[in-house]
Amino acid sequence: MKGFVPPDPETNVSQEYFAVIYAPRRTRKRFPAACVTTCSSLDAALALANVNEHTYPARILGPSKSSEGQFIYYLIAWLDIT
């Protein structure tokens, strides 16, 4: 997975999640924790998403600490809203 640090197999520091991300433009590949709401399932992420409010469902990896000291999540894939 190019662009981010792979998860450590011996710890649970970074994990894959379903989430809703606030993103005015969907061109970024990493997001600060303040823009991310993790969800327990795909259905929960799809239910919370709202295109009019710029919140989109996604699969993410994180959290990871950036060089600036903020916690960030990496985008794996945007999920379709149906």
Integer Cα distance of 37 and 10 in angstroms: 25
- Model confidence pLDDT, tens digit, residues 17-72: 999 999 999 999 999 999 999 999 999 999 999 999 999 999 999 998 888 888 99
Render the chain in DSSP notation, one character per residue. -TTSPPPPTT--SSEEEEEEEE-SSTT-SEEEGGGEEEESSHHHHHHH-BGGGTEEEEEEEEEEE-TTS-EEEEEEEE----
pTM for the model? 0.82
- Model confidence pLDDT, tens digit, residues 20-32: 999 999 999 999 9
